[in-house]
Structure 1
């Protein structure tokens, strides 16, 4: 029997003929046409609707967000109007001059786990337009689309859309700030409605990450495209649920990987090194066909660049509902105290929340 690189890395002999996959052995290349075709809500959010969102009765901002977004979706029905004749949300009387004035979309701001992505995907589903006239993607997927197609072709590709939804809107460097500000400005001029989610208010994007004051004009330009909706509440992923399972032993993780069809098995530090060789926009493709991710030797993330790559991987695994089984340290000990107090802290807390939920999903992979 051939011993996989996964078994060699863990030092544990295979216990089945079928050996696990290895994420470290994958270097996916995603063609530009696939990037465009996949700009739809990911599997976890394929069936969500406004009716399946359960607002917390103690948080009126959640019910208000549903109301506003339902009106927003309704207003996007009918034949597309010229940009100059659309009102704030595409409904109401047209009174704009040659170029649209005021915000052209909605921006969902709130902590991790309050259901922002659920609402954003519900808006995409509720908007009365053909799927090819609506686009849904993360911020990193949008910037990668520009890299793959070029700026002008991206503008042409998206300008015919009724709606562009951007999840996890974050500005981590000045180049992204200028790029996205210019892109969204062009799309607004073309009459495209915008919707976005983030853990940061539009006017605060980039704060704590780079010298945002030096790019204030671009950041303010981005903010002007959106009406911000604050969504308060606690993380629904852990509301009323038991504590996350403690990490399993290395042997338990390896046995589960060999016993689970479509599972991957990797040593955590090796995976972190591999992520540096794959562009974050390809992390979704990295997990194609993977039914469960099994990791051994989970430990602290060594630096911020590595931590941010891990955040993107956690998001893609969560989107695709891929359970994560791990040995080593618990996921809430991945990031240093300094990281959890810095400018990216909300990203790290989101990653901890999502990985914890996926660890809970993975409990059934371990045989009693």
Structure 2
């Protein structure tokens, strides 16, 4: 067994040209070959198979662009979106990626944050024009963190559906409840209601499959234990970093580049993991873990156990669902149950 290449994540500073961003809006490697047939619904949760079947039907619909629809000026019915609502680990992202694979192209796939980053890089008009060319837009982890996002995404979804673009989104929050606990949602109720009107909701019940038999991350090891992981792995490339240095590095790399920063890495080893006490730092860390989960990068660490990285106030606060999803994914990556 050849020794892996040991690199430092903190030495990577990827550059991505704005015009290349949209080319990267495809399912990540973790979901590169999923399908509706490979989705395994829990027989005890009929909503899972129902959501799969309805979403499969949705992807098979075609826009009405024939002579009669043009003559009578009717808008395409396919513009109505599907919103997959459910808890963590019930297979929403699997189904979203399956929809992307099954649907006619062009189509895009990305997280909510990646779409807002795209708008920031290209400007609203250009981003809207590029996305309006799509037959399907898939948005994972749909959540609104501030009033500006509420207005911007409401407008974008409205203009895309008016253009006949089909939209599928996933979230842990019903459309009408987006933003609750985060900001004065009542002040933006009209925008939130307009956003909610773009979707038909499919609720998926069930438990987090990532935690079946593995409710907590493994216990941390010492520095020598991390050396053993690096020496004994079959991984090609291992990133080993001090945890504090990783957190500092994230502040100097735009989140839209985190995925590119992780390219080729199979395993991450973190020295001296500890509780993060700054919410802005914690949210950047959440974005990193999301991209690590996309790529199935295994994690081993010294210091504190990974489920102690966020404070109790964070986990019970306005970003609670982000942190709980992150903890779920950290457990999966550290336990080898992310598949």
TM-score for both structures, normalised by structure 2: 0.91
1:212-252, CA deviations, whole angstroms, 9 ceiling, x for partnerless residues?
Answer: 11111111111110011111110011224585421111222
Considering only aligned residues, what root-mean-square deviation do their CA atoms show, in Å? Answer: 2.5
Superposition map of 1:216-295 within 5 A:
216-241=189-214, 244-257=217-230, 261-295=236-270
Say whether the 8 Å CA contact 2:217–2:330 is kept in structure 1: no
Q: Could you tell me how far apart the structure 2 residues matched to 1:289 and 1:264 are? A: 10
- What is residue 113 of structure 1 aligned with on the other side? 89
2:26 counterpart of 1:40: yes
**Gap change, CA 1:331 and 1:123, over 3 Å in 2:** same
Superposition map of 1:73-112 within 5 A:
73-76=59-62, 81=65, 104-112=80-88
In structure 1, list runs of 5 or more residues that go unmatched.
1-15, 87-93, 363-368
Say whether the 8 Å CA contact 1:80–1:162 is kept in structure 2: no
Please point out which of 182, 200, 207 is paired with 1:209. 182
Alignment partner of 2:37: what SS?
helix
In structure 2, list runs of 5 or more residues that go unmatched.
none
Q: Could you tell me how far apart the structure 1 residues matched to 2:261 and 2:46 are? A: 39
Q: Point out the more displaced range, 161-170 or 22-31.
A: 22-31
1:51-83, CA deviations, whole angstroms, 9 ceiling, x for partnerless residues?
Answer: 11111111111111011101101113xx6638x
- What is residue 291 of structure 2 aligned with on the other side? 316
**Gap change, CA 1:53 and 1:222, over 3 Å in 2:** same
Please point out which of 311, 319, 332 is paired with 2:307. 332
Superposition map of 1:191-206 within 5 A:
191-206=164-179
- What is residue 346 of structure 1 aligned with on the other side? 321
Q: Point out the more displaced range, 196-205 or 101-110.
A: 101-110
Say whether the 8 Å CA contact 2:85–2:204 is kept in structure 1: yes
- What is residue 6 of structure 2 aligned with on the other side? 20
2:139 counterpart of 1:155: no
Q: CA deviation at 1:98?
A: 5.1
Say whether the 8 Å CA contact 2:134–2:165 is kept in structure 1: yes
Q: Could you tell me how far apart the structure 2 residues matched to 1:44 and 1:101 are? A: 32
**Count of aligned pairs between the two proteins:** 333
1:69-103, CA deviations, whole angstroms, 9 ceiling, x for partnerless residues?
Answer: 01101113xx6638x959xxxxxxx99x7556897
Q: CA deviation at 1:337?
A: 1.3
Alignment partner of 1:327: what SS?
strand
Q: Point out the more displaced range, 342-351 or 134-143.
A: 342-351
